[in-house]
Amino acid sequence: MFRFPTQFAIGPVRVAPATVLAPMAGVTDTVFRRFIRNLGGCGLLMTEFTSSHGVRASLRARKPTRTLVKYLTFDPVERPISAQLFGADPAVMSDAARVCQDLGFDVVDINFGCPVNKVVRCNGGSGLLRDLPLVELLLREVRAAISIPLTIKFRAGWNDRELVAVRLARLAEDCGVAAVALHPRTREQGYSGQADWTRIAEVKAAVGIPVIGNGDVNSPEDAVRMVAETNCDAVMIGRAASSNPWIFRQIAQYLATGAYDQPSHQDRYRMMRTYYAMLIERDEPDKVGKMKQFATYFTHGVRHGAQLRAAIYRETEAQPILDLVDEFFSREVAAA
């Protein structure tokens, strides 16, 4: 019915379906990744972006550091999974990539896209878009240090006058990178304005390795349109998956039937309760903070959701928050 890739390959790693959960700081921890995997429809999961210096510290400590425990813990059910690193020191990044390989990750990804000031000031993330010679050195050293596939995620450039997307993609291919993911906004744009998908099409036309499109995919229709307009090999979804974690499953339904289900109040209740119960079961140190954070995402579009959010924000313990969710949805489902 629609032209959409059923799968793609990152080196020897087969990803099916051809959809990717974008790495998101404070969001894509192991609990959220397993939650997305259980809902179905997502081909590749990615960790939160992780400091290469923090990962390398585990080598010196000769034991798992806080960085490894917090950011790079994963369950086998999450496979295939990619560990995303940021940093600007080739030697440090190479050591960190080896640690990720030893931990059992399927892919290592390097972040050249984060626009946050504290990352850019250290020449990390999108800061490296202004130093392609350093990018080349970094990629070549990391590629030589590991045997699993290496990928990159990057922005189109520092600003509209300094666009480097095609040059960087070709450089990555020359350095042995197995796939690239482009968010076609510039660093200067941040998350404002519209993602220019023509830049994804330009990168796809310029390289022979898989190109993953990212940016402004908020619905199954958007995912299909991105493939049609850019010819990309896979679609990566970030912010939309926070408030609508069903989006990957909806894409699969849309491709199969031309339609997709909208979550009911009962679905939203099960989603919220399941995620909160997973936090409690894992005994996450910041589980109450996570519950409050995800209340904002998960009550998006829920009738009287503002009342539930306000009640959750006032609580300081996990179990009372779970009780609030039970009580709220029992009333709302009955009313519906």
Per-position DSSP letters for 293-328, written without gaps between them: HHHHHHTTT-TTHHHHHHHHHH--SHHHHHHHHHHH
Of the chain, the percentage scoring pLDDT greater than 70 comes to 98
Higher pLDDT, 278 or 68: 278
Distances (CA, A) of 191 to 171, 194, 216, 237, 248: 25, 8, 10, 14, 22
Q: What is the pLDDT of residue 302?
A: 83
- Comparing CA positions, the residue from 217, 250, 259 lying closest to residue 234 is 217
Length of the chain: 336
Q: What is the pLDDT of residue 334?
A: 66
The domain ranges of the chain are 8-257, 265-335
Of the ranges 58-62, 138-142, 155-159, 192-196, which one carries the lowest mean pLDDT score?
58-62
CB 55 within 8 A of CB 91: no
Higher pLDDT, 57 or 90: 90
pTM of the predicted protein model: 0.94
Q: What is the pLDDT of residue 182?
A: 98
Query: Does position 6 have pLDDT exceeding 90, yes or no?
Result: yes
- Helices vs. strands in the chain: H and E counts, helices first: 15, 11
CA separation for the pair 140, 320 (Å, rounded): 51
Model confidence band, residue 250 (pLDDT cutoffs 50, 70, 90): very high
Q: Which of 42, 114, 175, 232 is catalytic?
A: 114
CA separation for the pair 136, 192 (Å, rounded): 29
Distances (CA, A) of 149 to 122, 176, 183, 238, 330: 26, 9, 20, 22, 47
pLDDT digits (tens, 9 = 90+) for 285-320: 889 999 999 898 888 778 888 999 999 999 999 999
Q: What is the pLDDT of residue 333?
A: 65
The encoded tokens of residue 165 equal 């997307």
Q: What is the pLDDT of residue 108?
A: 98
- Comparing CA positions, the residue from 193, 87, 217 lying closest to residue 142 is 87
What is the arithmetic mean of pLDDT over 143-165?
96
What is the arithmetic mean of pLDDT over 134-144?
98
Distances (CA, A) of 25 to 48, 70, 168, 181: 5, 12, 24, 17
- Whether omega for the bond prior to residue 80 falls within 30 degrees of 0, making it cis, is yes
φ, ψ (nearest 5 deg) of residue 16: -145, 130
Q: What is the pLDDT of residue 118?
A: 76
Q: What is the pLDDT of residue 309?
A: 93
Query: Does position 115 have pLDDT exceeding 80, yes or no?
Result: no
Burial tier of 252 (Cβ tally within 10 Å: 0-12, 13-18, 19+): middle
The encoded tokens of residue 297 equal 């995402």
CA separation for the pair 109, 71 (Å, rounded): 14
What is the arithmetic mean of pLDDT over 54-59?
87
The encoded tokens of residue 180 equal 């690239």
Q: What is the pLDDT of residue 112?
A: 95
Assigned CATH topology for domain 8-257:
TIM Barrel (3.20.20)
Model confidence band, residue 12 (pLDDT cutoffs 50, 70, 90): very high
Of the ranges 67-76, 81-90, 175-184, which one carries the lowest mean pLDDT score?
67-76
Of the ranges 45-49, 55-59, 130-134, 196-200, which one carries the lowest mean pLDDT score?
55-59
Q: What is the pLDDT of residue 265?
A: 83
* Residue 232: active-site member: no
